[in-house]
Structure 1
Amino acid sequence: MLTQLTVQNFAIVRFLELELHAGMTCITGETGAGKSIAIDALGLCLGERAEGNMVRPGAERSELTARFSLERNPAARLWLQQHELLQEDECLLRRVITAEGRSRAYINGTPVPVTQLRSLGQLLINIHGQHAHQLLLRAEHQLTILDAYAGHQELLQGTRNAYQQWRQSQSELQRLEQERSQRDARRQLLEYQVDELDQFALQDGEFEEIETEHSRLANRGEIVEACQASLELLQDGDDITLVSLLNQTCHRLDDICAMDERLLPVNQMLQEALIQVQESHQELRHYLDSLDLDPERLSLLDERLSRSMALSRKHHVRPQALYAHHQQLASELAALSADDARLDSLRDELGHLHAHYIEQAHRLSASRQRHAEELAQRISSRIQALAMPHGQLTIQVQPHADATPSALGQDLVEFLVTTNPGQPPQALAKVASGGELSRISLAIQVITAERIATPSLIFDEVDVGISGPTANVVGKLLRELGRSTQVLVVTHLPQVAGQGHHHLFVSKHSDGHETETLMQRLDKQGRLDELARLLGGDQITRNTLANARELLQAAE
């Protein structure tokens, strides 16, 4: 329920703070005073589009705040909890608009995208505008009304899910079929390339190994010569070698260490060096003895190295990347083959998905037809009470099995009406006058509002084109609705305003330089005066006051 609305520097409002209560609250005022400004401000709090010209002239920004109680709104509490924005049993929506047209949105003090205001706002309040009867002429809006009344959200979602699955598969099938010729050409190329690389069968890391071994075999003469020379220097030479020199040094130090033990560490290091040199000699000898000098192996490596280089140039990759390139091409070829297999399975799958969609659409259609009859009867009863004694509304639901699937099913919904006996039902636009259409729209809004779980409803001058006894019926309808739901009504009719549990009066003041709109809560005497004004114009007489008193007494 909306408990407070604060408006600052918005349009011709300098500052406005409203405390709102349960029941039916009527908003009246002089023509041009800005009776709908509070509704417009609330709409911005609920995520409607903001513009810089909404800011009061001379102000830097507008600030709009709406406070809601969540005591009887589990859906809004759940939404806030899921978005980590829940704070106790209240919700505060805030919108700031700068004169340059920029805006910021907040939920419970946390900055949020405007889309989140819209999403949450649908769970907090429902606004019925004065132009709703014009929307009523649209077939898609008539379908929306029927679905809202039926409340078959699970059937709608089931149909929507089935449609999306079918549509996704159909799009994939179309894509695969359109790309088939390109895919065939690409597959032929890949088959040739992969087969060529398969025959060569280069392994991961093999090119680097080939390069290393080839370099070793190609330079085997230099390697052997260097190794033999090193062996000569280490130990195999006939003259002086490292081993002989180290042996001599160690023998001489053995004698000297007996004279001075401080040389023992030096002697120990030389002994270890001698061991290292002897082991190095053995390892080098072993390497030389095991060195493969097979010229056929070199020829084989040379051929494989050359082939690797040639294939890498052909495929425009580095030789080191040839193996990875081979794997990539093989994967792409496998994917193309999978696409062909997928194409065959999709054709079968699409038939099953379409059959599932038709089943869901039929269930939805059956629910619509069942609720259409019930809703039509209720609307007919309401409009007959609204000075259309012979009014009869029929809701026609026509399933079209051959129609292209849509997320909303395959039904064509049309509201038909007859206002005089003996006339066949016809489309609203052909039969109903402006006043009749307004009454039909109001009846529909009241009936559907009873089915919607939104705890607050706003009717913005929906009683346009209604007067006299009919206006009294409208007022009673809205007051009855206000017993279970918070209802705010912007009206110019005293018969409607007299039915309210609360009454707000809008006035406009000007000092010749600036204009400002104010809104105040009326006490009992204030209500009498305002109802008398609505009944008789600017001059309040004893008779208009008496009539106003009768209206208030009739509502109690």
Structure 2
Amino acid sequence: MLRGLEIRNIVLIERLDLAFRDGLNVLTGETGAGKSILLDALGFALGRRGRHAMIRTGAAEGSVTAIFELDDGHPAQALLAELGLEALPGELILRRVQAAGGPARGFVNDRRTTAEALARIGSALVEVHGQHDERGLLNPRAHRAMLDAYGGLGPRVAEAGSLWAAAQAAEAALAAARETLARAAEDADYLRHSVEELEALAPRAGEDDALDAERRRIRSAGRIREELERAAGLIAGQGAEGAMAEALSRLAPLGDDHGDLVAEPVAALDRAMVELGEAQRGLEAALEALTVDPNRLEAVEERLFAIRALARKHGVQADALPDLAADMAARLDAIDHGAEHIAGLEAEAGEARAAFDAAAAALGEARREAAARLDTAIMAELAPLRMEAARFVTEIAPAPPGPEGADRVQFTAATNPGSPPGPVDKVASGGELSRFLLAMKVCLAARAPGLTLIFDEIDRGVGGATANAVGRRLARLAETAQVLVVTHSPQVAALGAHHWHIAKRSDGATTVTGVEALDPAARLDEIARMLAGAEITAEARAAARALLEAAE
């Protein structure tokens, strides 16, 4: 709900602070007083394009601040979260500043944002209706959503959207499988040969490193064996073993006479002979371990070269060959069993599309039923508006299927008996169009809860009982929504819960537009002026008083 509008240095407005209220708010004033400036200023705050010319003459910049009260769960709350903007508890402040020498700047609760973001937020807060209402009720692209909201078809639309997404996903999976199969089929012979080659070689992960290490060991085994044999020769026979044996043989006879002198050396030599024997047995074991099959080196090198050649052929690392083999085998299996897989996907896609088609058909039928109710309701609203001969028809035609079903919806009208219905704004005159829009809005008001509804001279061209009917419908709308109406009709003004008067004043040097809230006496005079013109007569005051009393 729009609570306040603060305008600074915009066109003829120097400084203006307005506090709007619930219910029906009427704004009146003579032609040219500046009523359109207020709406333009509000539109500027809500993201509409600004221009340097809108800045008041002599001012460095102009600004407009719109203050809204937001209930919990208002659609704007979710939009703010989507845009990464935080709303103050129960309040939302939109501000736009236009500098004389630069671009306009937008703010949400004093946080900088773009005009596009302001426009998106504004569309969830305010809806303007007038004779050139191209973005609202007269926009055919919005008619389907309006009808769905009127008919309470949100769950059906959501179901159709879900089934459409499932059908699209199934179609995409089928198309991808067909494309994959087609690409794979082109390489079937190559894949078959490669799989056979890889399966024959059967490379294992890490085998390349293992074979390379084994090859190095085999190649170094000959040199190591020579060293071991030389070491064994130095120990055995005439080497260290023979020398120690001879030393023992020389010391042994001395033990009888000088045992105390040679006992320790003899014992040490005995221990050395034992250790030397252990060393000899260890060297013999090492020599036995280094015994290599003369054909093993050739076999290792042959397999190593085969693995590396196959890796180079396929442009992968040797360790990647097992994964490559599995991938190629899977692709070959897909080719061999592709027809079965495609048939399964075709069945799934057919079932998904059939489910969507059924939901879309049911949604279309529900839309036609809702359209019949809407047409009847709007026709009932047109009769009191002096449009008994007019017809309102909600046309539903087939449309390319999509997430919202397979229907195209357009609101049409015929103003003369026998004339075919056409787009409302094409077949209705200015006054008729205003009344059509009002009747439509009365019936469709529930489609967007939480909106502030603004009607810009929607009562133009009507008077008397018809104007009274227009006013009463606006008052009915105001029972569930905040309504602002710019009007020249005293019958409409008399039905307002709150009344503002817009006037232009000049001191000869400057001209400014001002707005003031009217108390009961001033309001009586304003409605009398609207009835009588410049000179307010007693008869005009009496007529104004009668209108106000009838409105109570």
The verdict on a shared fold, with TM-score over 0.5 as the criterion, is: yes
Question: 1:388-410: per-residue Cα shift (whole Å, max 9, x none)?
Answer: 23334343545x5xx64233323
- What residue number does 1:311 align with? 310
After superposition, the C-alpha distances for 1:263-283 in whole angstroms (9 at most, x for unaligned) are xxxxxxxxxxxxxx9999998
Equivalent position SS for 1:344: helix
Structure 1 residue 204 and structure 2 residue 205: aligned? yes
User: Which residue identity lines up with residue 71 of structure 2 in the other structure?
Assistant: L
How far did 1:537 drift?
4.4
SS in 1 for 2:55: coil
Identity %: 34
More displaced, 457-466 or 530-539? Answer: 530-539
Identify the residue that residue 481 of structure 2 maps to in structure 1. Answer: 485
Report the RMSD for the aligned CA atoms in angstroms: 4.2
> Relative to structure 1, is the Cα distance of residues 153 and 129 closer, same or farther in structure 2, using a 3 angstrom cutoff?
farther
Question: 2:542 and 2:188 mapped to 1: Cα distance?
Answer: 92
Q: Distance in 2 between matches of 1:515 and 1:237?
A: 131
Equivalence map 1:231-250=2 (5 Å): none
1:165 aligned partner, one-letter code = A
Instruction: Output the amino acid matched with 1:457.
Output: L
Inter-CA distance 383–512: structure 2 relative to 1 (3 Å threshold): same
Alignment map for 1:56-135 (pairs within 5 Å): 56=55, 58-59=59-60, 62=63, 64-70=65-71, 90-97=90-97, 99=99, 100-101=102-103, 103-106=105-108, 124-132=125-133
The one-character-per-residue Cα deviations of 1:164-209 (angstroms, maximum 9, x if unpaired) are: 3223333443455466533421454334333322222111111111
Partner of 2:216: 215
Q: Secondary structure at the match of 2:92?
A: strand
Contact 1:393–1:425 (CA<8 Å) still a contact in 2? no
Alignment of 1:440 onto 2:441: no
Rate the CA distance shift 1:87–1:103 in 2: closer, same or farther, 3 A: closer
CA distance in 1, matches of 2:470, 2:105: 38
Which SS does the other structure have where 1:295 is aligned?
Answer: coil
Q: CA separation in 2, counterparts of 1:236 and 1:41?
A: 114
1:187 touches 1:333 (CA, 8 Å); kept in 2? yes
Normalised by the length of structure 1, the TM-score is: 0.77
SS at match of 2:388: coil
1:386 aligns with 2:381: no
Amino acid at match of 1:382: E
Q: Deviations over 1:88-118 (max 9, x none)?
A: 8513143445644364543x56667777766
Match of 2:421 in 1: 426
Q: Which residue of 1 aligns with 2:549?
A: 553
Q: Compared with structure 1, are the counterparts of its residues 512 and 216 closer, same or farther at alpha carbon in structure 2 (3 Å cutoff)? A: farther
For residues 462 and 313 of structure 2, the distance between their equivalents in structure 1, rounded to whole angstroms, comes to 84
Distance, in Å, in 1 between the alignment partners of 2:190 and 2:509 is 81
> What is the DSSP-based 3-state SS (H/G/I as helix, E as strand, rest coil) of the residue aligned with 1:466?
coil
My pick for the range that moved more, 407-416 or 475-484, is 407-416
Equivalent residues of 1:10, 1:54 under 8 A apart: no
The one-letter amino acid of 2:496's match is: G
Q: Residue type matched to 2:421 in 1?
A: Q
Give the match for residue 289 of structure 1.
288
- Superposed, 1:340-419 pairs within 5 Å as 341-397=340-396, 400=398, 404-415=400-411, 417-419=413-415
1:499 CA displacement: 1.7
One-letter code aligned to 1:160: G
- Which residue identity lines up with residue 66 of structure 1 in the other structure? I
Is contact 1:492–1:534 with CA below 8 Å preserved after alignment?
yes
Amino acid in the other structure paired with 1:528: L
Is the aligned partner of 1:522 residue 2:518?
yes
Shift of 1:304: 1.0
Distance 2:178 2:472 in 1: 63
Aligned to 2:28, the other structure's residue is in SS state strand
Alpha-carbon spacing, 1:464–1:194, altered in 2? closer, same or farther (3 Å): farther
**Residue in 2 that maps onto 1:247:** none
Q: In 1, distance between residues paired with 2:359 and 2:123?
A: 26
* Contact 1:387 1:470 survives alignment (8 Å): yes
Kept after mapping to 2: 8 A contact 1:28/1:490: yes
CA distance in 1, matches of 2:438, 2:23: 18
Partner SS, residue 500 of structure 2: strand
Bigger radius of gyration among the two: 2
Counterpart of 1:157 in 2: which secondary structure? Answer: helix
Partner Cα separation in structure 2 for residue 351 and residue 202 of structure 1: 43
Amino acid at match of 2:526: E
**Which residue in 1 is equivalent to 2:500?**
504
Check 1:282–1:465 CA distance in 2 against 1; reply closer, same or farther (3 A cut).
farther
The residue number in structure 1 matching 2:22 is: 22
The answer to whether the Cα contact below 8 Å between 1:33 and 1:507 also exists between their aligned partners in 2 is yes
TM-superposed CA distance for 1:330, in Å, is 4.8
> Structure 1 residues 542 and 174 mapped into 2: Cα distance closer, same or farther (>3 Å)?
farther
Give the C-alpha shift of residue 415 in structure 1. Answer: 4.4
Separation in 2 of the partners of 1:514 and 1:203?
93
Correspondence 1:24-63 to 2 at 5 A: 24-43=24-43, 48-51=47-50, 53=52, 56=55, 58-59=59-60, 62=63
Residues 81-90 or 361-370, more deviating:
81-90
**What secondary structure does 2:160 align onto?**
helix
Partner SS state of residue 132, structure 1: coil
Structure 1 residues without counterparts, runs of 5 or longer: 245-276
Corresponding residue SS for 2:440:
helix
Q: 2:449 aligns with which of 430, 437, 453?
A: 453
Residue in 2 that maps onto 1:473:
469
CA contact (8 A) 1:105 1:114 kept: no
How many residues are aligned here?
Answer: 515
Task: State how far apart, in whole Å, the 1-side matches of 2:128 and 2:161 are.
Answer: 26
The Cα of 1:481 is off from its aligned counterpart by 2.1
In the alignment, the residues of structure 2 paired with residue 230 and residue 502 of structure 1 have an alpha-carbon distance, to the nearest angstrom, of 118
Amino acid aligned to 2:197: E
Q: Deviations over 1:301-344 (max 9, x none)?
A: 11111112222222223445444544554566567778765432
Tell me the distance in 2 between the aligned counterparts of 1:5 and 1:66.
6
Residue 268 of structure 2 is matched in structure 1 by none
Residue identity matched to 2:316: V
Q: Does the residue aligned with 2:205 lie in a helix, a strand or coil?
A: coil
SS at match of 2:360: helix
Between the aligned partners of 1:359 and 1:490, the Cα distance in structure 2 is 47
For the residues of structure 2 that align with 1:186 and 1:514, how far apart are their CA atoms? Answer: 85
Residue type matched to 1:474 in 2? V
Given the two structures, how large is their TM-score scaled by the length of structure 2? 0.77
Rate the CA distance shift 1:311–1:237 in 2: closer, same or farther, 3 A: farther
Shift of 1:293: 1.6
Secondary structure of the structure 1 residue equivalent to 2:402: coil
How far residue 141 of structure 1 moved from its aligned partner, in angstroms, is 4.3
